Amino acid sequence: MSASTARHRPSGMAFALASALAFGGSGVFARPLLDAGMDSLHVTWLRLAGAALILLPVAVRHWRVAQRKPLLVLAYGVFPMAGVQALYFAAIARIPVGIALLLEFLGPVLLLLWVRVVRRNRVSPAAVVGVVLAVAGLGLLLEVWAGMRLDAIGVGLALGAAAAQAAFFLLGDAMGEDTDPLAVIAFGALIATVLLGVLAQPWTLPWGLLADPLPLGALALPGWMIALWLGLVCTAIAYFTGVSAIKRLSPQVAGGVAYLEVVTAIVLAWVLLGEALTPVQILGAVVIVTGAFIAQTAVPSTPETAVAPATEQPAPNGDQPALERS
């Protein structure tokens, strides 16, 4: 971690908190559209198209970013934006919002496995304990002894969203200090909108629903207002603050704070949608969050010795921290 990055930890934590809160409401705000009969792909496309339209001026202004880093913006559009949103919304059409999000947040555990298996970096025993806890909590959440009471396809879709979420942290860390995160998000939204447009076929979208009042708990909001919130707050602002947090902290630390998104989503789903978990599932949720948090925070962030004087020599054992930026 550079000295300048280390000085940004307070602002990084603020960005991470804002991102968790913004992302946390996406499933709850998408539910009225889904319940009204809109297909999950249509809701996903609507959300991403709204964000792309809002961020279009940013993409025009920073068009050279796509020219300099085409693979980065393409991957960002495919995985963190199109992948996470499409898989998550498809999952919540089959299983409760809180459970889908808990499954998605196994992403940091997958990130840890990537660091160990693919990058072959050593991980601490605490990280292994965290993974075991997360898997055990998953068993409690799904109540596997009862033959899995949740829709198996919905569970699979949520786990796919977890893999795409792991890519979000990796790509956010790979942007570098010379890349405007908002520009990457703008191009990612544009790419995701085009890609999902092929599958969603937006001309078949029931546009009339956007003019109708839709129930959100005790409230009744116009469909267009819900779609606007999804595009602006739950996508554009959420991704920008999330990437800003990763650049100021590290993928591991930002991932830890992001678990507040799970709490936000579960509380909102309970208050507004009446989606309550059983006591055993609540225990499983706590174990998953605890285990995954331990797993990803156990990976050390880049040490402060990275800013040591040039006369100091690196440690003789040659160990490198996980996910260290070159």
Mean pLDDT per 10-residue segment, the chain (326 residues)? 48 81 85 89 90 91 86 89 85 80 78 76 71 73 62 89 85 74 88 90 91 86 93 89 78 66 76 78 80 63 43 44 35
Q: State the Cα–Cα distance between residues 16 and 26, nearest whole angstrom.
A: 16
Q: Which of 215, 168, 230 is nearest to 27 (CA)?
A: 230
How far does Cα 136 stand from its chain's mean position?
22
229 with 46: CB under 8 angstroms?
no
Q: State the Cα–Cα distance between residues 52 and 34, nearest whole angstrom.
A: 21
Q: State the Cα–Cα distance between residues 112 and 118, nearest whole angstrom.
A: 10
User: For the whole model, what pTM was predicted?
Assistant: 0.68
Q: Output DSSP code: residue 318.
A: -
pLDDT score for 143: 66
pLDDT score for 309: 42
Q: State the Cα–Cα distance between residues 261 and 98, nearest whole angstrom.
A: 10
Q: How many CB atoms lie within 10 A of CB 90?
A: 23
Q: State the Cα–Cα distance between residues 315 and 323, nearest whole angstrom.
A: 18
